[in-house]
Structure 1
Amino acid sequence: MKNIILIFVLGIIVSLCAFTPLEKRPQYKLRLVVIDAGHGGKDPGTHGKYVQEKEIALKVALEVGKTIKKNFPDVKVLYTRMTDKFVDLQERAAIANRNHADLFISIHCNSNNSKAIAGTETYTMGLHTSEGNLEVAKRENSAILLEDNHEKKYGGYDPDSPMGHILFANYQSAYMENSLRFASHVESQFEKRANRHSRGVRQAGFIVLWKTAMPSALIEIGFLSNLTEEKYLRTEEGRSNIANAIYRGFKAYKEDMETTD
C-alpha cells in the first residue's frame, strides 16, 4: 500500500513538473560591433582614376558606425581606424577579439582588369571557388607585405600562393552560419535599397577575417576600376546609400539573432 501511495505521489510531482515552465535562457543581445576601414596610411589599397580605396573605405566605415550609434544607442561601435593610418591585418582582428565583439565588418573597394565589371560583393571566410575570388583575396592580403616581420607573424604565409588561401579557409567554421547570414542581409540591402548590382555572397581566404573569434564579413562596396562606379562612390550621396544599406543589413541581422530561440 505504501508503495502504491509513493508511486501516486511521484506521478503527481512528475506531472506538475511537466507543466512548470522552465527558466528562460537569457536573451541574446548584439552589444558590440567592430567596423574596419580597409587599408590606410602607407597602404592605399586599390585606386580609381581619382580616388584611393583607403579614402572611400574610411568615409563609408565612419558613416556606418554613426548610423548604428544613432539608431541603436545601446550598441557599442569600435573602429580599427578613424584616421588615415596603417593598421596591421592581425591587429584589426585583435581589436575585435580583445573587446569581445559580436560582429566584425571590414569595408573595402574592389578592382578588376576589366573596367566593365561593377557591383558589390560580400565575403566570408572560406574556400575560394573561383579564380576571381582568389584574386580578390590575394590583393587584400598583400597588405601584409607592408608590415614589419610579416614572415614571422604569419608563419611564412605568401599572399601570392593559392595554397596559403586554401589553408586559411579551414578557419572561422564555428561562425560560418552567422557570417553568411549577415553577408546575405547586406547584399540583399545593396540590391533592394541602394539599387546596386549585387554580385552576391562569396567565400575566400582573407587574413583580416582569419583570426576573428566572432561572425565576420568583408564587404567590397564597388569597383574603383569602373569609372561609373568610382564616380558614384566619390559622391556623398553614393557613399551614404552604401553606408545605409550596410546599416540595414546590420539591423536585419541583429533582429534575426535577437529573435532566434
Structure 2
Amino acid sequence: DQYVTLQERARLSQTIRLPPADCFISIHFDACQYPNVRGTSALYNNWGNRSSRLGKPLAEILVEEVVKAANTMDRGVFPRPSYRQDEQGELVIAESQIYVLRHAKVWAALLEIGFLSNYEEEKLLVSSEFRSLVVKGIANGIEKWGREYLK
C-alpha cells in the first residue's frame, strides 16, 4: 500500500479523465471509542455552491447497495459540513467539512464500510470474501446511481 494525501486524492478526482469521471468515492473503515458500534454509513458534500443534489443520492444508494450485498447494518448518510443553531439562533457549523468531498470536482461520497473498533466487524473487514461483497455492492450502487441520476 502507498499513502496518498488528502490533497492528492482530491487532485486525482479532478485529473483522471479516461473516460471523464461522473463520481468520486472515498472508501474507508471507521473506528470509534465504543466497541459495540457497527455498520455502514456515508458522508456527502453539503458546502456552498456544491449542493447535495446528486451527492446525497450517491451516498444513499451506495449505503443501500453495500448493506444489501454484504449484509451490514445501515447507519445512514450524513452531510458535511452539518449545521446547527447557536444560542442566538445563528446557523453555525456543527461538523466540519471533509477535504476530499469539498475539493472533488464531481459528485462525491465518503463511504465508511464498517468499524475496525468492533471485533466482529474487524474480522469481516479483513476477509477477502467480505471485501468482494462490498465491492459488488459499491459497483451495483454506482450503476444504479448512474441509471437514475445521469440521464
The answer to whether 1:87 aligns with 2:4 is yes
Letter of the 1:91 counterpart: E
Q: For residues 85 and 177 of structure 1, do their structure 2 counterparts lie closer, same or farther at Cα, with a shift above 3 Å needed? A: same
Alignment of 1:7-46 (within 5 A): none
How many Å apart are 1:181 and its aligned residue? Answer: 1.3
Higher strand share: 2
Distance in 1, Cα, partners of 2:102 & 2:72: 28
Residues 65-111 of structure 1: per-residue CA shift (max 9 Å, x gap):
xxxxxxxxxxxxxxxxxxx2222211211122123522101001101
Higher relative contact order (CA 8 A, sep 6+): 2
SS at match of 2:25: strand
The equivalent of 1:102 in structure 2 is 22
Is the contact between residue 190 and residue 197 of structure 1 (CA under 8 Å) also seen in structure 2? no
Structure 2: segments with no counterpart, 5+ residues: 81-96
The equivalent of 2:83 in structure 1 is none
Report the TM-score when normalising by structure 1. 0.48
Report the TM-score when normalising by structure 2. 0.81
Identity across the alignment (%): 33
Is the contact between residue 42 and residue 76 of structure 2 (CA under 8 Å) also seen in structure 1? yes
How many Å apart are 1:239 and its aligned residue? Answer: 0.8
Letter of the 1:232 counterpart: L
Q: Considering only aligned residues, what root-mean-square deviation do their CA atoms show, in Å?
A: 1.5
The answer to whether 1:195 aligns with 2:60 is no
Structure 1: segments with no counterpart, 5+ residues: 1-83, 127-168
Q: Which has the larger radius of gyration?
A: 1
Residues 131-158 of structure 1: per-residue CA shift (max 9 Å, x gap):
xxxxxxxxxxxxxxxxxxxxxxxxxxxx
2:102 pairs with one of 203, 210, 213: 210
Higher helix share: 1
Aligned length: 132
Is the contact between residue 172 and residue 212 of structure 1 (CA under 8 Å) also seen in structure 2? no
SS at match of 2:70: coil
Is the contact between residue 123 and residue 202 of structure 1 (CA under 8 Å) also seen in structure 2? yes
Is the contact between residue 63 and residue 111 of structure 2 (CA under 8 Å) also seen in structure 1? no
How many Å apart are 1:171 and its aligned residue? Answer: 5.7
